[in-house]
Chains A and B, each alone.
Chain A
Amino acid sequence: MDEEKILTESTSEESAPAQESPEGAPGGKKKFSERLKKAGRWLGHSQLKAWLYLLPALVILAIFTVYPIINTVRISMLEDYSFLKEKGGTEFLVNFNNFTNVVHYRGFLTCMGNTMLLTVITVPVSTMLALLIAVGLNSIKWLKKVFQTIFFLPYVTNAIAIGMVFKAMFEIIGPVNSPSSVGIINTIVEAFGGSAVNWVNEGSSYWANMAVLIFFIVWNALPFKILVLLGGLQNVNKQYYDAAKVDGTSRFRIFWRITVPLLSPMIAYVVITGFIGGFKEYTSIIGIFDESLMGPPGSIGKPLNTMVGYIYGTINNNQGRASAAALILFAVIFVVTMINLYVSKKRVHY
C-alpha cells in the first residue's frame, strides 16, 4: 500500500505534462502496466541508493519487530501451542480458541477493567496538571531552570525504585493509629486531623490501592508531558499575549481561548501517547506492590493486575493465550488511538 502511495507521488511529477496533453486520460488514472513500467524505472535509478541506506534498519526491524508480530498472530491462532512441542514436530489445531478462552477468563475482565480505569483517570488528570504546571513554569522567571529540573527528575528515575519509595511513604507499620508507625502520607493525614488509612499494607482495600496507584502514575507521567507542553509554550509568539493584553482579555480567557488552542497539537500528542502508555501500565504496580500483581496479601476485593501484567503472567504457561491477549490489547489501543485521532482532527488547530 505504502509503496504504491510513494510511487504515485514520485511519478506524479513526470506524468504532469502527459496529463495536460489532450490525449491524457481523464482523472489522471493510468493503466496498471504503465505504472509497473514507471515503478521499474523508479527503482532502477534514483531511489536504489536510499533503499541501500535503509537496509540495516530494515533488517533489524524485520527480525525484531515484523517477525515477532507475525509470529504472535500465528501463535494466537494455534490451540495449546508450545515452543518445545512445535520443535518436537507436533501439529496444532488452527482456531480461535485462545481468544475465546482469554475473554471468558474471569481474571481477564478484571485486568481489562483495571487498565481502563487507570488510563481513563490518569491521562486527563496528568494532562491537565502538566498543562497548569507548564503554564506556571513558563510564566516565572526566577528559579525556572531549578523547577524544570525538579519536575523532570521522575522521568530519569527508575519506576521500580520510585514505586518502593512510594510504598514507604504510604506505609503503615504495626497497628493503625499509633503515631510512631505510619509513613509520611499518613502522618500528614493525621496532622490534619484525619485518621491513618491503610493504603498499601495487608488488608488494604482495592480503592485505597487504586488511589495510590493513580497518584503514582500521574506523578510519573507528568515530566514528559510538562516537557512537551513547555516546549510548545515557548514556541508561542509573545505577541498573541500582547494583543490579548491590549484587548483586556482576562487570564482565564487567555488560557482557554489562546493558550490551549495554540498548544492543541502538543496536547493531542501528549494525550494520545498517554493513552497508549496507560494501556501498557505494568511496572508501577510491581514497584508499589509485588510481582504477584494481586495487590497486597490478604487485601480485600479484586486483584490489581493489568493487561500487560496478565500477558506476562500467562506467557510461561500458555503462549497461545498470551499472544491472543496481546492482540486484543493491541486492538483496544488501536481503536482508542483512532478515536483520539478522529477527535483531535476536529479539535486541534495546526
Chain B
Amino acid sequence: MKVVLQNLTKIFPSRNKNDKGGEVVAVNDFNLEIPDGKLIGLLGPSGCGKSTTLYMISGLQTPTRGKIFFGDDDVTKLAPENRGIGLVFQNYALYPHMTVQQNIMFPLQNLKGEQRLSKEEMLKRANEVAKLVQIDEYMQRKPAELSGGQQQRVAIARALVKMPRVLLLDEPLSNLDARLRLQTREEIRRIQRDTGITTIFVTHDQEEAMSISDYIVVMKLGVIMQTGKPQWVYDDPANLFVAKFLGAPPINLFAGMVRAGKLYIGEEDVLDLDGVEDQEVYVGIRPEGFLLAEDGRLSCSVSGVDVMGRDVSVVSTNENSLNALVRSIISSDDAEAITGDTVRFNLKQHKVFIFNKETEKRVYFGRQIAAHEEMLQKMREEGQDYVTHTGPLPREADDKPKEKKQAPKTKGQIVLGFFKKIGGLFKKLFAKIKGLFTKKGAKSAAENEAPMSETEDAENTPKSED
C-alpha cells in the first residue's frame, strides 16, 4: 500500500494558554510519498517530529493540517482501527497478564460482524504469524518470561496478525542490547521482505536506519531534510545537517573559504574547485576521504593512531577543525608512514562536501555536479521522488540570542517586574471573569484557539526557520 503524506503539519498548543509563542511545530508541512512494499526509516535526532509523524499515520494523533492517503483512500479522518495499520510501540506494550498467544489473538478477538473469525481460524492465524516471527515455541509464555528480542517479535506478530496494510514501528530497536539489536534488525528486514507490507519505522540511530531501510527520510525540527536510498544520502548530503547526522565515525568539519577557484582551510589550499563563487564555507570531509601523502595539501598534528584491524584511524588536530579531533581512516599499511608530529593529507574529491556558511546548503563542484544529476535520474527511474529541503533550513531555538538570562537586574527593575507580573495576573483574572460572563466555557475557548493558531502559523513558520 502506497502511503502519501500531503502538507502534513502538527502543532502542539503551548502549555501556557496565553503564551502563543510557546506552541511547538512538531511536524512542518511534510510531503512524502512512500512506495508500496518498501521499508522506510524516519531518521532524526530526538524531538525532530519523527514519532509524531508515525502516530499521525497511525491515527493516534490527529494532524493540525494536511492529509494522509493510503493508496487512493484519504484516511486523515479515519479512526486508527479503521485504517488497517499495525503499530509496534517502543516498549512493545504487550499485555503482561496475557500469554503470547492471547496477546497475538487479541486484535482478532476485537473484530465484529462479518470480519469475525471462528476460534480455530483465529488460532490458525495466530500460529501462522508466530511462525513468521519465529516465536511459535513460546505461545504459552507470559511476556515477562521472554527476552527483549522475543517480546519485540511478539509485538510485531500482534501488529501483523490483522494483516495490516501498513506496519508502523516506533523505535523498534532502542530497548534492545547491542547484539540483539543487530539480530533483530535483520529479523525486521526479513519479516518485511516475507510479508511485503509497507513498513515505516522511526529511529534516531543512523546506523540502524542505514542498514535496513530501502529509503531513509532524514528529519530535523519537523522538516524533511533529505530522502533517498541510504547510500545515496550518505554519498550526496544535501546540507550540513544531513552530512553531520549520517556516518560513523562522524564527518570531519572545518571552517574554510573558497577563493579564486581554490578551497582554503586556514592558510592551506586543499582542493581545486572550478566554477565555484568565492564564499565562506563549511568543509565536511568523510573519515575515508583522506589520503596520506608526503606533499599533502592539508596538514594536521597527530595525537594518536587507533588500530581497528584492517584499517587504522588517525586521530589528529587542526586549528580550523570544528570538531575537537580530526578522524581519518586509512589502511594500516599506509599508517606506517606516520612518524613525526604532523601528518599531511590529500583529499578525495567525492568525499569532500562544502556547504555555504550562511545557508548551510551544499555547494556542488566539479564531478559532484554530474554525480548528483545522475543520482536524481536514478531516483526518478525508481519512481521515487527525490526530496531535499528547498526552503531555508530550520535552526534550533538555541541559536537565538539568549539575552534574557544574562541581563543582570537592578533593584528597580526587579520591583518593576514584580508589579508587571501582578498586573499580568490581574489581566488574566479579568479575562477569566469576562469569559465567564460571556459564557464561553473552557471548551469553546479551546476550540477558538485552534483556528487562531492556524492563521498565526503563516507568521510563525518563518520565525522558527530564520
Residues in chain A within 8 A of chain B (CB atoms): 142, 237, 239-240, 242-243, 245-250, 253, 257-258, 261-262, 264, 349
Given contacts A142-B442, A253-B110, A349-B97, contact A248 B82 (CB under 8 A): yes
Give B301-345 as 1s and 0s: 1 = Cβ < 8 Å from A's Cβ atoms: 000000000000000000000000000000000000000000000
- A237-B91, A258-B95 are known contacts; what are 16 more A-B pairs with Cβ within 8 Å? A242-B60, A242-B87, A242-B89, A242-B93, A243-B87, A243-B93, A245-B81, A246-B86, A247-B106, A253-B109, A257-B106, A261-B97, A262-B97, A264-B97, A349-B96, A349-B97
B162 at the interface (CB under 8 A from A): yes
Cα-based distance from A250 to B79 in the complex (angstroms): 13
B13 at the interface (CB under 8 A from A): no
B85 at the interface (CB under 8 A from A): yes
Of B58, B91, B96, B442, the residue contacting A246 (CB under 8 A) is B58
Assess whether A250 is in contact with B93, with CB atoms less than 8 Å apart. no
A25 to chain B, nearest CB (A): 32
Residues of B within 8 A of A257 (CB): 95, 106
With both beta carbons as reference points, the residue of chain B lying nearest to A239 in the complex is identified as: B93
Residues of A within 8 A of B158 (CB): 243
With both beta carbons as reference points, the residue of chain A lying nearest to B441 in the complex is identified as: A142
Give B246-287 as 1s and 0s: 1 = Cβ < 8 Å from A's Cβ atoms: 000000000000000000000000000000000000000000
B107 at the interface (CB under 8 A from A): yes
The 7 closest A-B pairs by CB, nearest first: A248-B81, A349-B97, A239-B93, A247-B107, A261-B97, A243-B93, A246-B80
The residue among A239, A243, A248 with the most chain B CB atoms within 10 A of its own CB is A243
Cα-based distance from A245 to B89 in the complex (angstroms): 13
Residues of B within 8 A of A240 (CB): 93, 95
Q: Can you list 17 pairs linking A and B with CB atoms under 8 Å apart?
A: A237-B93, A239-B91, A240-B95, A242-B89, A242-B93, A245-B60, A245-B81, A246-B59, A247-B110, A248-B80, A248-B81, A249-B106, A257-B106, A261-B97, A264-B97, A349-B96, A349-B97
A106 to chain B, nearest CB (A): 48
The residue among A242, A246, A349 with the most chain B CB atoms within 10 A of its own CB is A246
Assess whether A246 is in contact with B97, with CB atoms less than 8 Å apart. no
Residues of A within 8 A of B162 (CB): 247
Cα-based distance from A278 to B73 in the complex (angstroms): 59
With both beta carbons as reference points, the residue of chain B lying nearest to A260 in the complex is identified as: B97
The size class of the interface chain B forms with chain A is 20 to 34
Of B98, B106, B110, the residue contacting A250 (CB under 8 A) is B110
Given contacts A237-B91, A242-B60, contact A247 B97 (CB under 8 A): no
Residues of B within 8 A of A349 (CB): 96-97
Residues of A within 8 A of B85 (CB): 246
Cα-based distance from A198 to B79 in the complex (angstroms): 53
With both beta carbons as reference points, the residue of chain B lying nearest to A348 in the complex is identified as: B97
Residues of A within 8 A of B95 (CB): 240, 257-258, 261-262
Give B198-239 as 1s and 0s: 1 = Cβ < 8 Å from A's Cβ atoms: 000000000000000000000000000000000000000000
With both beta carbons as reference points, the residue of chain A lying nearest to B81 in the complex is identified as: A248
With both beta carbons as reference points, the residue of chain B lying nearest to A248 in the complex is identified as: B81
With both beta carbons as reference points, the residue of chain A lying nearest to B159 in the complex is identified as: A246
Cα-based distance from A237 to B91 in the complex (angstroms): 10
Assess whether A243 is in contact with B96, with CB atoms less than 8 Å apart. no
Assess whether B89 is in contact with A243, with CB atoms less than 8 Å apart. yes
A261 to chain B, nearest CB (A): 4
Give B41-80 as 1s and 0s: 1 = Cβ < 8 Å from A's Cβ atoms: 0000000000000000011100000000000000000011
Cα-based distance from A237 to B89 in the complex (angstroms): 12
Residues of B within 8 A of A261 (CB): 95, 97-98
Assess whether A246 is in contact with B60, with CB atoms less than 8 Å apart. yes
A167 to chain B, nearest CB (A): 39
Cα-based distance from A248 to B109 in the complex (angstroms): 10
Residues of B within 8 A of A258 (CB): 95
A270 to chain B, nearest CB (A): 18
Cα-based distance from A258 to B86 in the complex (angstroms): 19
Cα-based distance from A253 to B102 in the complex (angstroms): 14
Residues of A within 8 A of B82 (CB): 248
Residues of A within 8 A of B60 (CB): 242, 245-246
A142 to chain B, nearest CB (A): 7
Residues of B within 8 A of A249 (CB): 81, 106, 110
B105 to chain A, nearest CB (A): 11
Residues of B within 8 A of A250 (CB): 110
With both beta carbons as reference points, the residue of chain A lying nearest to B106 in the complex is identified as: A247
With both beta carbons as reference points, the residue of chain B lying nearest to A249 in the complex is identified as: B110
Residues of A within 8 A of B110 (CB): 247-250, 253
Cα-based distance from A250 to B109 in the complex (angstroms): 10
Cα-based distance from A142 to B80 in the complex (angstroms): 25
Of B80, B106, B111, B442, the residue contacting A245 (CB under 8 A) is B80
A47 to chain B, nearest CB (A): 33
B444 to chain A, nearest CB (A): 13
Cα-based distance from A248 to B161 in the complex (angstroms): 13
B71 to chain A, nearest CB (A): 19
Given contacts A246-B58, A249-B110, A253-B110, contact A262 B96 (CB under 8 A): yes
The residue among A142, A240, A248 with the most chain B CB atoms within 10 A of its own CB is A248
Residues of A within 8 A of B106 (CB): 247, 249, 257
With both beta carbons as reference points, the residue of chain A lying nearest to B59 in the complex is identified as: A246
With both beta carbons as reference points, the residue of chain A lying nearest to B102 in the complex is identified as: A257
Cα-based distance from A240 to B110 in the complex (angstroms): 15
Cα-based distance from A262 to B86 in the complex (angstroms): 23
Cα-based distance from A248 to B164 in the complex (angstroms): 13
Cα-based distance from A172 to B386 in the complex (angstroms): 83
A336 to chain B, nearest CB (A): 25
Cα-based distance from A105 to B12 in the complex (angstroms): 71
Residues of A within 8 A of B89 (CB): 239, 242-243
Residues of A within 8 A of B109 (CB): 253
Residues of B within 8 A of A245 (CB): 60, 80-81
B173 to chain A, nearest CB (A): 17
A192 to chain B, nearest CB (A): 31
Residues of B within 8 A of A237 (CB): 91, 93
A347 to chain B, nearest CB (A): 10
With both beta carbons as reference points, the residue of chain B lying nearest to A242 in the complex is identified as: B60
Cα-based distance from A258 to B79 in the complex (angstroms): 20
